[in-house]
Amino acid sequence: MTEHSQSPKRPAHPNKKRDTPSQQSAHQTPKRTPSKQPPSKQPQSADDDILDFAKVNYLTVTRQQHDQRVDNFLLGRLKGLPRSHVYNMIRSDEIRVNGKRCKPHDKLQRNDVVRIAPIKLATREKPVISPDFAQSLLERIVYEDEGLIVLNKPSGMAVHGGSGESFGVIEAMREVTGKKYLELVHRIDKDTSGLLMIAKKRSTLKTLQEHLREKTLQKTYLCLVVGWISSETQTIDKPLLKYTLPATQEGKSGERRVKVDVKSEDSKPSQTQINVLQKFELNGQKVSLIEAKPLTGRTHQIRVHLASIGHPLLGDDKYNPNVAKGDKSVRRLCLHAYQLEIPEYETITAELPVDMQNLLENQHD
């Protein structure tokens, strides 16, 4: 008979030892109860903006973030914080999920509580968007429905803040539209122009990213490359490896690069399908206009693959040796994301930007 079932007036048996509290608890079935946060640590909804980054913040995962990776969740809430800083916080145990350590690729579940340590960052202020810039950004929307915005991004604008950028397309669009939930479906390089997908709903984000994983969403690029490519149509199938420039290269040490590497176990299988649309001369230099379809989605894939067959992109300061040596005859990276083929959507296109069109108009056959 337990202590709670005895009558208060009935004395305990003189020869029977009463169970200690620890023994009593051992006899009982333990009950799991949700841990309660102290009043100062009550979590806020992850749908709301963080107001004070200088203190510990607790965010409750909602339906909008269910099944999202930890790193993507943080990048969406710590806008302007460099990606490297976010990953350092995860590795340094400054990010916890339900009180436990986590990894960048861990998936969050609804009602999880994410703890974020204090962040000291001078660039946390909201971006200041001029009325003219805001209008020009809105005019670049080429498609919009209840769940998706497709923007024709200009060359030279990063898709998100960080790494020296106070803000990018996604921060500017959140500020301009006033929408709390806007997330990048994918990324394109800062110097690449063209179609960028931005989800207005979590369900749309998950659907489109699933299409990207399953390779049922086709992105097509237009680019100008050095030389005349002999084979009109081909698939470049070469594994790619990310690496960091050594400290011996002054001014560029620590920069990330990609190269073809058939020997490394860390290389990723990569395929790019190309089709030559036109061959001409530009300022005495042979140039080809190429349609490129990445069949995989690796960083700098089109740029590295074309450079690997001896036809680097015009204006590519990373993979075109002539540009690296100071050739400024072309002022931009000649890579434009011009078409999206998405299941259950009409084909979405964006015309070549004026600066690339001008290069084509100055050609000599």
**DSSP per position, 54-116:** TS-EEEE--TTTTT-BHHHHHHHHSTTS-HHHHHHHHHTT-EEETTB---TTPBP-TT-EEEE
Task: Annotate 335-345 with b (16+ C-beta within 10 A) or e (fewer).
Answer: bbbbbbbbeee
In the set 48, 49, 67, 189, the catalytic residue is 189
User: What stretches of 200-262 adopt beta strand conformation (E)?
Assistant: 218-226, 233-237, 240-244, 256-260
pLDDT value for 7: 42
Tell me, yes or no, if 365 is annotated catalytic: no
Give the tokens for residue 124.
């946390």
What is the model's pLDDT at position 2?
44
The Cα–Cα gap between 182 and 130 comes to 20
Residue-level pLDDT, tens digit, the chain, 365 residues: 444 444 444 444 444 445 444 444 444 444 433 444 544 567 898 888 787 788 899 999 998 888 899 998 998 888 767 788 899 999 999 999 999 999 999 999 999 999 999 987 554 456 677 888 888 999 999 999 999 999 999 999 988 876 566 678 888 898 888 887 899 999 999 999 999 999 999 899 999 999 999 999 999 999 999 999 999 999 999 999 988 877 554 555 557 899 999 999 999 999 999 999 999 999 888 999 999 999 999 999 999 999 999 999 999 999 998 887 777 788 899 999 999 999 999 999 999 999 999 998 877 65
Q: In this structure, what DSSP letter does residue 145 have?
A: -
Alpha-carbon distance values, 217 to 193, 220, 342, 344, 346 (Å): 19, 10, 5, 10, 12
For residue 16, the model assigns a pLDDT of 44
pLDDT of residue 8: 43
Distance CA 347, CA 13 (A): 85
Q: Residue with structure tokens 């960028």?
A: 196
Q: What is the pTM of this model?
A: 0.70
At residue 80, the pLDDT reads 66
Residue pointed to by tokens 């084979």: 231
* Residue pair 110/61 in contact by the 8 Å Cβ criterion: yes
**Cβ(74)–Cβ(117) below 8 Å:** no
Residue 236, C-beta contacts closer than 8 angstroms, at least 6 positions apart: 271, 272, 273, 274, 305, 306, 308, 309
DSSP at 310: T
State both tokens at 109: 């579940």
- Beta-carbon count within 10 A of 149 CB: 22
Largest CA distance in the chain: 111
pLDDT at 238 (0 to 100): 97
With H, G, I as helix, E, B as strand and everything else as coil, classify residue 216.
coil
